[in-house]
Structure 1
């Protein structure tokens, strides 16, 4: 299957397109307002019929652009000329966005790429852009091509929202795809470098950068993994890599090979989860001292080996501070079904291909005793010593692996940055130093008490945060009382002493119980220095 070229054009053409889109109302909110709740929700499920019924007969710019780019329908040349003043059908064709059948006003025009509004809120604040990518299977009705360039899907949005957004000098977007992470990074970095193994992806990223961030210092490099930036150093590395675990079938038949797919955007060509392992253990080579790397990934849960030990060994080999949060867990069958559908194969349409691919995935997992596959967020940091201008001694101090399969409050990037800073603060304060500090409880923290009917005292007390990961910590009576009086007036030591007198226990015993728990609450953002 031959893919359409990536869009391109001179800066004047792209600037005219940006101006036309800004005035068209073709934004996320604008489209949802046009379609209404029912049709918008159906379109998110890739069901276009309700939206087609809404836009039928409408001749405003939002309806034309929605029909053309989101629904994959033909529109007339005259309608597109009106929707994109200063660009029109001819300009859109020169940019590589559409193909026009003729020159008459009634002649049809069809999109050859996906161009859609994008809205998100990261730790820097809200954004609103337009992103070009390849047309999806819902529009084309065909299986995706191997060089398909994906738009901003759920994983891309997750990474954008969990990334720390402190002002930095240099950022690397490894595996940039359509360039969405590079665009987010350009808002808080002096320089951004995006890399990808796909020339077409780099073409889309170049176009999207010109359309949405024309003044950004953004460089694009072709190559695999870290090869294009060998010898460079970055303050932040972000990556939504091709982490999907795809069977390596060798000389498989045409049916199973086609259904498995060979998609550049999701398949890094490695067996199992080796690509994620290699990235975790290798990314430190391009991190500046104190630099942070954040990526998404899959890892295998193998029989008889806790995933925390297996992924933990990757952190050990990396020489970096490491924090891994598993967000989702799929069994082998669920995983296979997810990615077969993702490539455009359905059992109703292609039963033989579906069954062949399904079997190949299950066989591949069985060969390594894989019981489940985890998906989550990896945050790494190169420790900085005094020689690097940092305040630490260059030692690895953070090694944290946890499961959080529940809801969280996005954007999470600010919370993760604060937790890293709290970890460093705790490393500088032993128990005696902590006892001399004054702490305050965060504004999003609440307390839950569970009592048996008629009981005077609670059986369970849970201290819960409303922000970030929404953690709940089961607290003893002493810890709940400590949190309740943290208003910055008394030091930690004074508070422990007062509570010990109230509870009639030795202060040293209460301190031994409370201080480790207090450290955990500071680390996770329940408490902070006054």
Structure 2
């Protein structure tokens, strides 16, 4: 164990001033060491970046070595790069120690780009030294910096304004900062006091207010309170509950199997205000007698307050691949005896529950504002997604609510527009006039691709915001020489799906 950060407003303001003066942004740092070293850093290799910066002693290069790569730096050099804070101030913040003539970082402070509907900018995010900076395995109280999962969840967050948001398992605070861009008040909780200290530091470092931290597990710190939105990148990693397997606080919630995600799903309704939405990442087990998504559906059904659910499974791993992923994540070297021992522990744990696979994906849960739940989608979407999904999810929920209030007569009277990112592809055999396959492809959202028949393709192609859907269907029925009523009954349910998924838009 090691000392926690000790943030204060004056010290964080001084560090912010020095980082700003040095131009310490993600783009500037990447430009300083170049494309190949930047790619190497993504693979845990910092040597090329250190080589690229070796001849430079300007403030940007010094801070990149010290705070991005976690390398000791002479105190005199660090003081020139941190003229407002100084080396002593970095020590007082709990982010470094002085060893002889060197300032030795005990944490990283890395720039992070911000680009969403509120605009573009950047943050600085402090977290513990990573494996490359440490030169070895991580301690169990490690506080993770910004990684792939945290960026994914930040991009999933709904973009509509909110009053109160709860961040469960806040870690270094990236989700709390993202939520604060649309919310008046954010409460961030964690079972790690060290994580809470990093969140407090990052909030102050980025000049934010309106974020309160609380210590505790899941919803215990906010019993009796409700929120408009709950967001969580919880410690969902399935870890064997046996001696000798490290229990990393940032990824292990201390429960067996996928019980942590189950507890979140069954308990979150108690802290959601009517109309409130919870979003999280999670794992769920496939077992010999149970499909993984069906198990999640059963969890939702056991919530004490009825919930709407949109669950998207993005990946399915076999037990060995899952074990290897998380043993490597902890810094254990493949091929070593320790690596083999940990893999065996994971496989034994899975075998004891009859686990055949582990799903990973996104969970969106909503407490209906009134009435009974109407949204229940459990789907598997494996294709790459082109960008942040928050705007798409926000639009999809709004579309769902409008569609729920519309009967088929109202829908037929509506005018629709084809979304600007939708394209059509037609596949013909050589020499044939009529296509064998017609596909609609979505450039944004979940990048869905749908095979459609000529009737639906004609309707989508004619949706230009001019004529009502019913009029278009009648015209298509005449063109195809089919019964208009039957065509309406066939197309209108599929039009509802196209509106929800973002191919078509209501005015």
> Do both proteins adopt the same fold according to a TM-score greater than 0.5, normalized to the shorter chain?
yes
- Counterpart of 1:219? 212
Aligned partners of 1:97 and 1:316: how far apart in 2?
45
Aligned partners of 1:421 and 1:524: how far apart in 2?
11
TM-score, structure 2 normalization: 0.97
TM-score, structure 1 normalization: 0.93
- How far off its partner does 1:123 sit? 4.6
- Counterpart of 1:244? 237
Aligned partners of 1:334 and 1:127: how far apart in 2?
37
Q: Is the 8 A contact 1:120 1:128 kept in 2?
A: yes
- How far off its partner does 1:465 sit? 1.1
Deviations 1:448-488 (A, max 9, x none): 11111111111000011111101111110010000000011
- How far off its partner does 1:48 sit? 1.1
Deviations 1:385-410 (A, max 9, x none): 2xxxxxxxx21101101111111122
Aligned partners of 1:8 and 1:526: how far apart in 2?
50
SS in 2 for 1:438: coil
Out of 339, 360, 365, the position equivalent to 1:375 is 360
- Counterpart of 1:35? 33
- 1:100 equivalent to 2:98? Answer yes
Q: Residues 29-428 of structure 1 correspond to what in structure 2 (within 5 A)?
A: 29-102=27-100, 107-214=101-208, 216-249=209-242, 252=243, 257=244, 260-318=245-303, 319-348=306-335, 351-385=336-370, 394-428=371-405
Out of 455, 460, 463, the position equivalent to 2:432 is 455
Aligned partners of 1:179 and 1:320: how far apart in 2?
27
Alpha-carbon distance change, 31 to 222 in structure 1, aligned in 2, over 3 angstroms:
same
- How far off its partner does 1:81 sit? 1.3
Q: Is the 8 A contact 1:121 1:161 kept in 2?
A: no
Aligned partners of 2:235 and 2:139: how far apart in 1?
15
Aligned partners of 1:455 and 1:190: how far apart in 2?
60
SS in 2 for 1:361: helix
Q: Is the 8 A contact 1:123 1:411 kept in 2?
A: no
Deviations 1:494-525 (A, max 9, x none): 01111111111110111122111111101111
- How far off its partner does 1:152 sit? 1.3
Aligned partners of 1:123 and 1:417: how far apart in 2?
12
Q: Is the 8 A contact 2:114 2:123 kept in 1?
A: no
- 1:469 equivalent to 2:446? Answer yes
Q: Is the 8 A contact 1:235 1:287 kept in 2?
A: yes
Q: Residues 478-493 of structure 1 correspond to what in structure 2 (within 5 A)?
A: 478-493=455-470
Aligned partners of 2:352 and 2:118: how far apart in 1?
44
- How far off its partner does 1:124 sit? 3.5
SS in 2 for 1:263: coil
- The runs of 5 or more residues in structure 2 that have no matched partner are none
Aligned partners of 1:213 and 1:279: how far apart in 2?
31
Q: Is the 8 A contact 1:169 1:190 kept in 2?
A: yes
Aligned partners of 1:94 and 1:121: how far apart in 2?
32
SS in 1 for 2:397: helix
Aligned partners of 1:347 and 1:439: how far apart in 2?
55
SS in 2 for 1:488: coil
Deviations 1:37-58 (A, max 9, x none): 1111111111111111101121
Aligned partners of 2:345 and 2:5: how far apart in 1?
36
Aligned partners of 1:153 and 1:290: how far apart in 2?
30
Q: Is the 8 A contact 2:44 2:131 kept in 1?
A: no
- How far off its partner does 1:411 sit? 1.2
- How far off its partner does 1:347 sit? 3.0
Aligned partners of 1:98 and 1:51: how far apart in 2?
21
- The runs of 5 or more residues in structure 1 that have no matched partner are 386-393
- Counterpart of 1:391? none
- How far off its partner does 1:188 sit? 1.1
Out of 463, 480, 500, the position equivalent to 1:523 is 500
SS in 2 for 1:205: helix
- How far off its partner does 1:120 sit? 3.5
Deviations 1:77-97 (A, max 9, x none): 222111112112122122222
Aligned partners of 1:494 and 1:517: how far apart in 2?
16
- 1:512 equivalent to 2:497? Answer no
- How far off its partner does 1:73 sit? 2.0
Aligned partners of 1:146 and 1:87: how far apart in 2?
30
Q: Is the 8 A contact 1:123 1:161 kept in 2?
A: no
Q: Is the 8 A contact 2:165 2:227 kept in 1?
A: yes
Q: Is the 8 A contact 2:94 2:106 kept in 1?
A: yes
Aligned partners of 1:162 and 1:125: how far apart in 2?
16
SS in 1 for 2:424: strand
